[in-house]
Chain A
Amino acid sequence: MSGIATSGPSTRAARFGGLSLGLQLALLAGAASWGVWQARADLGSRALPPLRTQPYAVPPLYDDPAVVADQDLARVLPRLGLRGKGAQTVIGHVEHGLRAWGPGVQFADPGFLSGPDMMHVLLNNWRFVSTYGPSQRSLLYAGSDGRATGSIGRQDEPGVRVRVLEGVASSPHVDHLLATLGEVGTTLDTSIVAPGQPTSLRAVLEQSLRTFDLNQAEYEWSSLAYALYLPPTHAWRTSEGREMTFDRLAERLMREELPRGVCSGNHRLHALVVFLRIDDRMAKEGAPRILSPASRRQVISYLREVTAMLVRHQHPDGFWNGDWPTSAPAQAEPSGRIGDRLSDRLIVTGHALEWWSLAPPEILPPRAVRAAAGRWLVRTIDGMSADQIQANFSFLSHAARALAQWRGSTPAEILARGAAKG
């Protein structure tokens, strides 16, 4: 063999062979690099979409005194503040209070939680601990859910999650806090203090986007928050690689039978109305719409059908109960049956009036229908004691918002106007 190594032609052949082999190995390395690059590009397509720091506002569209008169509003609203109860304060109530009154509200009654108080309880763990005690598990917590975000085994980057459905000191629904903050105009750079991790609201939204699944049990508030913070982005990829669009979210919001869903399905309807409004705004700003024409038509048709159901099944006194898609309440007085309690009537009537106040005209019911609903809410609140109001605070917060929005305003503005008048 040594002869092969030293003879001229064999040496040339060996050199050629070596060159050829080296070239092949280089090609193999190139192919491997191509594969890795492609895999990284795929992971890159699953990166989080660009987010708006300032959420879109969805202001009310109408000012109709037939729904609620100025004097009724001035009388009813000041009673609907949230009273602080220390460690017994329900976080769900705080979130609803913030949503109804906004982060800047100040009440004459010092027993009511002010806007800054509510923001601090929700977004600052130090304040949370001082309210609920150190043994209470924090509302905000850091960390990933360990879900792989790509085939190469990359794990989630740490985000901030909100504790849900774990008692009074936790949020009542998935992404409810996020949507609430969005609806009251909280910017994503707002500082939050999670245990051991001062960060910003952006970390909460990013974590929500990482873990969102179209078929999760509660999706209404996630959809709402995305509509407020994502556009003009109208399509993005989930960590599983699924393309997500507002069309797809709208389809999901319309998928289940009514009245299934939280609050007898009304949050699904609310989110759809917000989609339409943001879609309109995109068109006005010359940005791409978030809904396709077909999807938009489908949403409008669906909401008109829902409105027709509500019109058909309104009680002569102006309210609805949990059976609203199929039948009108049988009697004026509430019964103890689930779906027909006073709280159920407040839920459906307050929510319906609330999302109608934001809805385009083609979706609205006849004026008499919404006026009857407004009058019923005012009468009912007038008849409730302060304790009853606190017990039903979350439901009534929607009523407060609905009544104020039907006057083209917000509860905080009306409260401030009343205070200015003395």
Chain B
Amino acid sequence: MNLTEEIRNPVSDLAAASPDDETWAAPRWALGARATVLWGLAVLGFLLLCYRPLDPTELMAHLSYGDWLLQHRALPAADPIQPLAAGMPILDASWLAQAVLATVERAGDGAASHAGAGWLAALFALLRLAGAALLLSAFRRVSGSWAWGLVGLALVLAFAGGAGGPWETLGPATFGALCMAFLLRRIASFEADQQGPPTPGRGAFKELAAAAGWVVLFALWANLHVSFVLGLAVLALGAAGKGLEALSRRRERPSSAWRSLVIDRPFRRWLLFAELAAAATLINPYGIELWLHVWRLRSNPNLAGMPAWQPLSVEKAGGWAFALAIAVLLWAFLRGSSRRRPIPVAQALWGIGLGLAALAAAGLLAPCAPLFVLILLPQFAALLDDLTSGLRAEGAAGRFGRWASGARERFGFLAEPSWHKSVLALALLWAAFVLSPVGASLLRGEARPPERAFSASAPVALAGYLAAHPPRGLTFMPTVWADWLVRQGPQGRDRLRPFATTEIEGLPTEVWQDYLRIAGGASDWQRVLDRYGVRTAIFDREAQHGQIQSLRYAEDWRLAYEDDRSFVFERTAPTSTKGGKL
């Protein structure tokens, strides 16, 4: 099925329309076999994802901020978690996502004790499935088949693999990934509409609705996650590409450059949508300061050392996938093919612009991966089509085709839309609800313990100890544990005062550098602990053996707790002179 056919029959696979549509008994909502199978797979995927332990790193920090937002019904003017960030400017760019996460967790905890984690897992599953469905649909649109759509999804995961990001963890980036999927789905439809014949009845109202769609999408995105700038870049580069295409057509239709742009409808539409999107992102509590915040992130010295901000390396799985994709693309071009479609200028600009960005900062690969796949997929499809044309000529495809048509004749009745399948889909939906953590908490009052709800990286036992023995004063601990311990450790007035959490962009540079000195065991790490007046120090048994051994024998520290992963030391009263120089 080619692209135009797809556009003309956009829902042909899901619900076959019939002349009896107007009667209540007509199978308007009757599902076909393919839709039922897809639905079943989605339910299965939902349940699998629901019971996948959540990674607590960063999620806990966002939940803490979300709790603060819900409690105070205001945006924080200062970092509410990290005492050493006092006075630093703060811009909570993900406030909406944090509030949603905290609300879902509260709702879960309200349904049954400790069920919040299960509800978050269900939210994660829904977000990922929705994102995958949107991407699948977008990829199908550009490639012309469901199979290639699935290949596209696999490629997205391959690109994102090793780079972490929204496909691995729950957080504001997950919402950002969903927004990116929405954007690509709309772009795929938009491009298809432009390539296809004019749609009858598409009037000003529909144009207005489309514009409103962009506004809503970007207004939400800007309040959910900073990745909205990638979306803006996609639209801006798209408009630039359309503009270049319009200018290139001057050879065919001589006119002034300005006039060429003015009369080019695709360019004007893309530009308008880009402008609407940009304006929509200003609908946030910080206004244009949000843009400046994103601009400043690139020069934040605390982030410069993080793996996500390092150049893309082939040592990572995502880097390998990226390099392989580029190699295949180049090969396809050099080899030449009659089926290969020219890459539109806009897509070339996306590939070059965001590709270079991802090369410079590996963390951009995951959020940009769907876009890269959108560009590459039609080329890969054409290349494979070209390569397999010989096989088809030899009859391999013919044998498969005969087998497939035979199967269709024998089992075709199963593929017909029917109410039975719709009922089955409803039953699957009910099963998904009952079997999910949400259903378990609402119907049976059950909740999974934290050890099972979260991945093994969560220091559950340590949190229990700290809750029973609240540390005094500033507490040093690995940032990957800090988020968890702040939420699961002592609460109220005894709440932990961490040296640093994973929200490092808001920390003063010197504090972050000093954190690294202590965590990395620099020669003066104990003096740094003294300088900050750290009263309790928590170290990772595996990664910080040197620090643990030093404090074991230090006269002003005592070992308060240890388990198979962590050591907790408490400072004793000073017993000797350490200063004294004038």
Residues of A within 8 A of B (CB): 1-2, 4-5, 13-14, 17-18, 20-21, 24, 27-28, 31, 34-35, 38-39, 42, 92, 148, 151, 153, 172, 213-217, 240-245, 248, 255-265, 321-323, 325-326, 338-339, 344, 347, 394-395
Is the beta-carbon distance between A241 and B88 smaller than 8 angstroms? Answer: yes
Contact call B89/A241, Cβ cutoff below 8 A: yes
Q: In the docked arrangement, what's the CA distance between A24 and B295, Å?
A: 23
Assess whether B530 is interfacial by the CB under 8 Å rule.
Answer: yes
A246 to chain B, nearest CB (A): 12
Q: Does B315 contact A (CB under 8 A)?
A: no
Whether A14 pairs with B530 at a CB distance below 8 angstroms is: no
Neighbour of A262 across the interface among B254, B574, B576, B582, CB < 8 A: B582
Residues of B within 8 A of A153 (CB): 299
Q: Chain A contacts of B577 at CB under 8 A?
A: 259, 264, 321-323, 338-339, 344
- Complex Cα spacing A322 to B579, Å: 8
Contacts of A322 in B (CB 8 A): 577, 579-580
Interfacial chain B residues near A28, Cβ < 8 Å: 275
Decide if A263 touches B275 in the complex (CB within 8 Å): no
Structural contact, A151 and B296, CB atoms closer than 8 A = yes
The docked-state distance in angstroms from the alpha carbon of A326 to that of B576 is 8
> In the complex, what's the smallest C-beta–C-beta distance from A258 to chain B, in angstroms?
7
Contact indicator A264/B87 (Cβ below 8 Å): no
- A-B pairs, top 5 by smallest CB distance, nearest first, are A339-B577, A322-B577, A1-B253, A243-B87, A17-B262
Q: Which residue of the partner chain A has the closest CB to B86?
A: A248
- Enumerate B470-498 residues with CB–CB distance to A below 8 Å: none
Q: Is B532 an interface residue (CB 8 A)?
A: yes
Contact B532 A18 (CB under 8 A): no
Bound Cα distance from A2 to B532, whole angstroms: 76
Contact assessment for B84 and A215 in the assembled complex, using a CB-CB cutoff below 8 Å: yes
Partner of B580, one of A34, A258, A347: A347
> Do B574 and A264 touch (CB < 8 A)?
no
A326 contacts B88, C-beta separation under 8 Å = no
Compute how far the CA of A322 lies from the CA of B575 in the bound complex, rounded to whole angstroms: 10
Q: Is the CB of A244 within 8 A of B87?
A: yes
With a cutoff of 8 Å between Cβ atoms, the chain B residues found around residue A215 in the complex are: 84, 508, 510-511, 514, 531-532
Contact of A261 among B89, B271, B579 (CB under 8 A): B579
The interface of chain B, by Cβ under 8 A from chain A, is 84, 86-89, 252-255, 258-259, 261-263, 268, 271-272, 275, 278, 288-289, 291-292, 295-296, 299, 508-511, 514, 530-533, 571, 573-582
B537 smallest CB distance to A (angstroms): 14
CA distance A38 to B288 in the complex (A): 8
The residue that A24 contacts in the complex, of B253, B275, B288, B580, with Cβ under 8 A, is B275
18 contacts between A and B (CB under 8 A): A2-B254, A5-B259, A13-B263, A21-B262, A21-B268, A151-B292, A151-B299, A214-B87, A240-B508, A245-B87, A255-B532, A256-B533, A257-B533, A257-B571, A259-B577, A260-B579, A263-B580, A321-B577
Q: Is the CB of A242 within 8 A of B87?
A: yes
Decide: A257 and B575 in contact? CB cutoff 8 A.
Answer: no
In-complex Cβ contact of B272 among A24, A92, A326, A347 (8 A): A24
What's the minimum C-beta distance from B534 to chain A, rounded to whole angstroms? 10
Write out the residue numbers on chain B whose beta carbons fall within 8 Å of the beta carbon of A21: 261-262, 268, 271
Bound CA–CA A5/B295 (angstroms): 42
Q: Which residue of B has the minimal Cβ distance to A151?
A: B296
Chain A residue at minimum C-beta to C-beta distance from B581: A262
A148 to chain B, nearest CB (A): 7
- Chain A residues with CB below 8 A from B573, complex form: 326
Given contacts A1-B255, A31-B278, A257-B571, contact A248 B579 (CB under 8 A): no
B87 partner residues in chain A, CB cutoff 8 A? 214, 242-245, 248
**Residue from B571, B573, B574, B575 with most neighbouring chain A CB atoms (10 Å):** B574
Q: Nearest Cβ in chain B — how far from A262, in angstroms?
A: 6
- Whether B582 contacts A172 by the Cβ 8 Å rule is yes
Q: Report chain B residues within 8 Å CB of A31.
A: 278, 288
A42-B292, A213-B508, A215-B531 known; A17 vs B263 contact (CB < 8 Å): yes
- Given A242-B87, A257-B533, A263-B579: A326 and B261 within 8 A (CB)? no
Tell me the complex Cα distance, A13–B265, Å: 11
A217 contacts B531, CB within 8 Å? yes
Residue among A35, A321, A394 facing the most chain B CB atoms (10 A cut-off): A35
Contact A259 B255 (CB under 8 A): no
Min distance, Cβ B82 to any Cβ of chain A, angstroms: 13
Bound-state CA distance A321–B295 (Å) is 53
Contact, CB under 8 Å: A260 / B574: yes
Point out the residues of chain B lying under 8 angstroms from A38, CB to CB. Answer: 288-289, 292
Q: Give the complex CA separation of A263 and B509 in angstroms.
A: 28
Q: Which residue from B255, B261, B510 sits with its C-beta under 8 Å from A216?
A: B510
Q: Which residues of the partner chain A approach B84 to less than 8 Å between Cβ atoms?
A: 215
Q: Are B292 and A323 in contact (CB under 8 A)?
A: no
Q: How far does the Cβ of A206 sit from chain B's closest Cβ, in whole Å? A: 20
Q: Is the CB of B579 within 8 A of A259?
A: yes
Cα A212 to Cα B508 in complex, Å, equals 12
Nearest A residue to B293 via CB reads A151
Distance (whole angstroms) from the CB of A306 to the closest CB of chain B = 13
Output the least CB separation between A391 and chain B (Å).
12
B582–A263 touching, CB < 8 Å: yes
User: Given A14-B262, A28-B275, A31-B278, are A258 and B582 neighbors across the interface (CB < 8 Å)?
Assistant: no
Q: Which of A34, A215, A216 has the most CB of B within 10 A?
A: A215
Contacts of A217 in B (CB 8 A): 531
Task: With A264-B577, A325-B574 given, name 16 new contacts (CB 8 A).
Answer: A1-B253, A14-B263, A18-B259, A24-B271, A24-B272, A34-B288, A35-B288, A213-B510, A259-B578, A260-B531, A260-B574, A263-B581, A264-B579, A326-B574, A326-B575, A339-B580
Q: Hey, which chain A residues are within 8 Å of B510, CB to CB?
A: 213-216
Write out the residue numbers on chain A whose beta carbons fall within 8 Å of the beta carbon of B581.
262-263
Residue of B nearest to A214 (CB): B508
Q: Which residues of A contact B532 (CB under 8 A)?
A: 215, 255-256
Q: Min CB distance, A394 to chain B, in Å?
A: 5
How far is the CB of B222 from the nearest CB of chain A, in Å?
A: 14
Q: Which residues in A have their C-beta under 8 angstroms from that of B86?
A: 248
Closest B residue to A153 by beta carbon equals B299
Please name all residues of chain B whose beta carbon is closer than 8 Å to the beta carbon of A4 when the two chains form the complex. 263
B88 lies within 8 A of A260 (CB): no
Are B580 and A35 closer than 8 Å at their CB atoms?
Answer: no
Interface centre among B259, B272, B532, B578 (most CB of A within 10 A): B578
